[in-house]
């Protein structure tokens, strides 16, 4: 009976099971995500992330991500940071700038090192999209939020009651206005200018954090004039720094592109383990 080695990691509490499928192929990632994500009968996580070689020369590696319900996501910001740390600290690459192929395009990961350990990662999340008929069809009864696609769809609602996430998030995820279902953010602007955000992730429910959700929240706040182009997003599991570039510029030897969203935050190992491949 074969065993699959895995690593559990989290970015601001958004935890996933990571498998290097270059060494441990998974025939049915949908079934694996459902079985292994179960917090009572499995490993416990928000989903399953597969790390692989890139099939195209423009990228170094690729990722696929499956939510806890088995649905496949386009992208996950927290998971992409964790992949950067995994690749570098497990010796798969010595690059500090990694091109990662996702279902929503190639994301560039810039690793921030301290004592040869990855202390944080900045991800170029590319440009936000505000009109995508395959993801959002405006409806008369859903006009209180801002739709922002960061590869995957987000609907951001600014409210003092961010704790309605459990009640309202579940309903809005499945609203007919969202053909592919939707991630829902509830955000409040704090007195110090930071943004408190709680997240309902499609396919997973309430999560401790969401990288693309933090990006969508920052962009939505800037659009509504509630914040500038640089925001601190405080989620249940931690804090992310988001910059929506207004113009091309360089800083610390790196080039930042106009209209791209850059997300910076931590990534952490939790534990390594192995599971029987039959447990699907």
For Cα atoms 83, 243, 204, give the angle at the middle one, nearest 5 degrees. 50
User: Which two tokens mark 88?
Assistant: 């570098």
Distance CA 95, CA 25 (A): 24
CA atoms within 13 A on the CB side of 16: 34
Distance CA 47, CA 23 (A): 20
Bridge partner list, 105? 102
For 188, phi then psi, to 5°, come to: -130, 135
- Identified catalytic residue from 12, 182, 210, 215: 210
Distance CA 91, CA 30 (A): 28
Give the three-state DSSP class for 269: strand
CA atoms within 13 A on the CB side of 239: 7
Catalytic status, residue 210: yes
CB atoms within 10 A of CB 159: 13
The answer to whether 79 touches 49, Cβ cutoff 8 Å, is yes
Q: Are strands 3-11 and 97-102 parallel, antiparallel or unpaired?
A: unpaired
Distance CA 178, CA 276 (A): 37
Give the three-state DSSP class for 142: strand
- Identified catalytic residue from 76, 82, 182, 215: 76
Give me the active site residues, please.
76, 210
């Amino acid at each position: 009976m074969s065993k699959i080695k895995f690593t559990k990691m989290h970015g601001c509490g958004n935890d996933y099971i990571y498998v290097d499928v270059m060494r441990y192929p998974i025939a049915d990632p949908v079934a694996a995500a459902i079985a292994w994500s179960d917090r009572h009968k499995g490993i416990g996580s928000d989903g399953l992330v597969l790390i692989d070689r890139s099939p195209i020369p423009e990228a170094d590696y690729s990722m696929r991500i499956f939510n806890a319900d088995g649905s496949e996501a386009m992208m996950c910001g927290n998971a992409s940071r964790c992949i950067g740390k995994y690749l570098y600290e497990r010796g798969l690459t010595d690059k500090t700038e990694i091109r990662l192929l996702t279902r929503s395009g190639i994301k560039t990961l810039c690793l921030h090192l301290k004592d040869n350990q990855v202390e944080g990662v900045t991800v170029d999340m590319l440009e936000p999209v505000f009109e995508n008929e395959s993801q959002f069809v405006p409806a008369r009864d859903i006009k209180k939020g801002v739709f922002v696609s960061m590869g995957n769809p987000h609907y951001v609602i600014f409210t003092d009651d961010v704790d309605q996430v459990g009640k309202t998030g579940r309903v809005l995820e499945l609203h007919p206005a969202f053909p592919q279902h939707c991630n829902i953010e509830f955000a409040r602007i704090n007195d110090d200018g930071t943004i408190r955000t709680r997240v309902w992730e499609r396919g997973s429910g309430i999560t401790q954090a969401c990288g693309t959700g933090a990006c969508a929240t920052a962009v939505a706040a800037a659009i509504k004039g509630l914040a500038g182009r640089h925001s601190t997003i405080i989620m249940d599991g931690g804090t992310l720094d988001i910059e929506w570039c207004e113009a091309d510029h360089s800083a610390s030897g790196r080039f930042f592109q106009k209209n791209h969203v850059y997300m910076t935050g931590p990534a952490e190992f939790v534990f390594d383990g192995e599971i029987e491949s039959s447990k699907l």
